[in-house]
Chains A and B, each alone.
Chain A
Amino acid sequence: MFTFLQPLFLFLLPLTGLPIVINLLRRRVKLRVRWPSLILLKRVEERRARRRLRFVEILLIVLRMLIIAFTILTLSRPYVHSPGGSPPRDVVVIVDNSVSMAYPDGGRERYSAALDAAKNYLNSLGETDRAVILFATGGWSDELLAPADAAEALTTPPGLEPLRSYVAAVTEAAELLEESGRIREINVFCDMQASHFDGLQTFPSGGFRVYVRDIRGGPGPYGNLALADVSVRPDGNRFAVKTVVKGYGDFSPASLRVSAAGTETKYPVGGGTLSLTYSSAPGGAVELALADEPGYRFDDAFVLNLPPTPETYYYVEPTCPGAAYFRTAFDVLGSRGLGAGETPPGPTVFVTTNPSDTLESTTALNLIVPTGAVGSVGPPDWGLEITGTTRYDGKASAGEPLFDTAAAGPIRVHTYYSVTYEREWEPVASLPDGNAIIIRRAFSDVETYVLLLPVEGENAVFPRQASFVTFAGDLLGRSLELTYPDFRRFTDLSLEESNVETIDGDTLNDFFPGAEIAEPTKARGGWSFSLIFPFAAAVLLLLAAEALLAAYVTRTTA
């Protein structure tokens, strides 16, 4: 089999006709001479026609065409190899470790499937190939290694992280391969989520073979997500916690683990809805975790820290990774504080930080749920829906106990929102006063996530907000698009949801020109031989022959 490592140069092959074009252009008559007599010129022309000169000139043109052709072929780096074989390759394997890769297909997490596929692929490479593993969210080597050595990186894969695009990883891959003189191959093992290809539309894939390898093997995307929605209400001096777990599609065996007051109870989740009520000990905490069997994988997924004085207020302090997103949201929103003496409108939940925190160093986000609101918890199988209008009018300042009702002065309230827990997938809530805020805690195989949107506030920073929305979309495994008709006022803010767009063989090149869909693994074998040197030698020989002939013509016609 004949192949080229740099096939783009083959587009230059039409230049082979250049000598003919030049010859034709030279034959264009630019000069007209009135000459005394054609007697001698006729004799010369006749003699010339009889001689070999015309043949030599044709030969010269052919030689020049061959020189151009062979030069282009040499630049294209020709290789010959046996059927099924391939010339030596330098390969970059990019493994998608975005959070959406946590979704199970057919009971198997995609990330795991991707790692296995990458490993198989590396094992299929030849001894002369070199490879390197890159993870899409970062962390990569800068050295091409033997495939077996490169596969070492797969034994200690990084965790799943939010990801916006493969651009950084692909760019890194291109830089790694820049100096390679072999076949240059970039493989992306991923779940084909379209949004991750943002920015690759103009990637100069020329010179690379780019394969996007779809590792999805399950019934359909995002079908195995389980949610746990939690509602809390006072029950005497205890809290009643209600959890809703739902499974979709081929839900893997899982259980909900509830820990409180030193005891733990597991509730199997079989892909349906689990509803339970658990009363905590006063001042205790309730920890909820959704876990795969047989092990718990989602420890600390969600923790309710129940306050010791429930008659005053409740607050929820997530300590799971999702707390970071609370902070992010708060950071976005936090600059909008409630003015002194200002009465929060409508249904209200106070959101604040710990009293000693500043906006710049918020460590946790507290949802302050006024006592009166708790009494009106919404539909029983929903999450927490605050519909009452109760205002906490205590005060707090730095260094003071945040929730000390005996303290004088107003509490330091950074902003106020209405909060709706919703079950299932609907992340949008529009509240009667036009404000909107969503907090979703979802037990998934990922982690808790929260989406907060500002109701209003001129200081809200949209880019961060949008980033947050995108990130939440990735968590959800859905495409979320934030729309807002008025940048300054977000009263009409809405969050639209649609199914995640995925790419396939028909649409891949719209997102990643030059790439092609490939099976997760590809075998290699046989022999290969570079033709660069023979072709280069041919060019040199042709150049020498051309020089000799040109000299002959010059000597003959000068």
Chain B
Amino acid sequence: MERSGRLSEKYLDPLTITAIESLELRARLVVEGFFAGLHRSPFKGFSVEFSEYRSYQPGDDPRYVDWRAWARSGRYYVKEFEEETNLRLYLVLDSSASMGFPEPSAGAVTKYDYAATLAAALAYLALHQRDAVGLITFGEAVRTVIPPRSSKQHLKAVLSGLAASEPGGDTGIFPVLGQIAERVRRRALVAMFTDLWDETGRVIDGLKALRGKKHDIIVFHILDPAEVEFPFREQAVFVDMESDEELRLDAARVRRSYREALERFRREFRVGTADRHIAYAPVTTDTPPAQALVGYLGARSALM
């Protein structure tokens, strides 16, 4: 319990949770599975709650004919049910070495910490709505898998999984998306937290393939402000955190070009995912986590 408490303190910023609860998380996606809380399923049929009658049509299953209504009215009516179902939320965290930026000695929040905070907030919220939450961390391959559960005690397991992962190793988003597509057979909401430092085209292809499996996808593109602003003004050697490859640059000379290239990079994802209704949310780690979630989920709910 004590460890769980520490984890909660680490990842569940009370302000974040409060802010999101006030918005009433309304997922735009209705996933296959159980309804719990406020999520409504678009599917009619297997239900626990009557929805409406409609006239019998040829081909309807005779089991759903309301014989009492027939007895009263002499007409055939078929009962329809609206079913509340549990959201299956998969938190997919990139734990490659690049997510460890900036290095702890810099005294700032690493991208992984920030992503874990957001993921924990979503987990907390979802579990309180009796949604099932699972966790997948990955680097060059899937590293940790915690299957989705809807019990509130499951939060501890998710938080433990987040805390147990440390940034390291290479990034392999495309193969990981393939592995996720194989593992997650039932429709789910996949919330992915990553810096997306991989081959753009393949990553988009992987996301589209996953989307093709009927999963809904939110990509939180997490970057450090330094990655956005590129605040360097002098000659510097840049060392790739994953490959240790070195590149010598006059930072002042490439700053403008870098920022333009980053903008193009983000635009590629935004455009490449929009047509498949994959949500793309660029976030920097200096944005308050609550604000990041509220801003994004608020906008999504407006689309519902």
Q: Determine the chain A residues whose CB is within 8 A of the CB of B247 once the complex forms.
A: 38, 41-42, 45
Residue A556 at the chain B interface, CB threshold 8 Å: yes
Pick the residue among B195, B248, B249, B265 that contacts A36 (CB under 8 A).
B195
Binding site for B on A (CB under 8 A): 26-45, 47-48, 53, 57, 553, 556-558
Contact B257 A557 (CB under 8 A): yes
Contact B255 A37 (CB under 8 A): no
Distance A303 CA – B256 CA, assembled complex (angstroms): 100
Known: A36-B242, A44-B261, A558-B255. 5 other contacts (CB 8 A): A26-B250, A33-B232, A36-B99, A37-B240, A557-B255
Contact B238 A44 (CB under 8 A): no
Q: Determine the chain B residues whose CB is within 8 A of the CB of A53 once the complex forms.
A: 253
Residue B69 at the chain A interface, CB threshold 8 Å: no
Contact B239 A557 (CB under 8 A): no
Contact B249 A45 (CB under 8 A): yes
Q: List 15 A-B contacts (CB under 8 A).
A: A27-B235, A31-B234, A31-B235, A32-B236, A32-B237, A35-B101, A35-B240, A35-B241, A36-B197, A36-B224, A41-B247, A41-B249, A41-B254, A47-B257, A48-B254
Evaluate whether A38 and B245 lie within 8 angstroms (CB atoms) in the complex, with A44-B254, A44-B257, A558-B255 already known: yes
Distance A57 CA – B197 CA, assembled complex (angstroms): 31
Closest chain B CB from A217 CB (angstroms): 70
The 3 closest A-B pairs by CB, nearest first: A37-B197, A36-B98, A31-B236
Evaluate whether A44 and B258 lie within 8 angstroms (CB atoms) in the complex, with A36-B241, A37-B242, A53-B253 already known: yes
Contact A40 B258 (CB under 8 A): yes
Evaluate whether A30 and B239 lie within 8 angstroms (CB atoms) in the complex, with A36-B101, A557-B254 already known: no
Prevailing SS type, chain A contact patch: helix
Interface size class of B (residues with CB under 8 A): 35 or more
Contact B235 A30 (CB under 8 A): yes
Closest chain A CB from B196 CB (angstroms): 9
Closest chain A CB from B241 CB (angstroms): 5
Among A28, A30, A32, A41, max chain B CB count under 10 A is at A41
Residue B108 at the chain A interface, CB threshold 8 Å: no
Residue B205 at the chain A interface, CB threshold 8 Å: no
Distance A42 CA – B246 CA, assembled complex (angstroms): 10
Q: Determine the chain A residues whose CB is within 8 A of the CB of B242 once the complex forms.
A: 36-37
Contact A29 B248 (CB under 8 A): yes
Contact B237 A31 (CB under 8 A): yes
Q: Determine the chain A residues whose CB is within 8 A of the CB of B245 once the complex forms.
A: 38
Contact B234 A41 (CB under 8 A): no
Distance A27 CA – B234 CA, assembled complex (angstroms): 8
Pick the residue among A29, A47, A553 that contacts B235 (CB under 8 A).
A29
Distance A288 CA – B262 CA, assembled complex (angstroms): 110
Contact A33 B237 (CB under 8 A): yes
Contact A37 B98 (CB under 8 A): yes
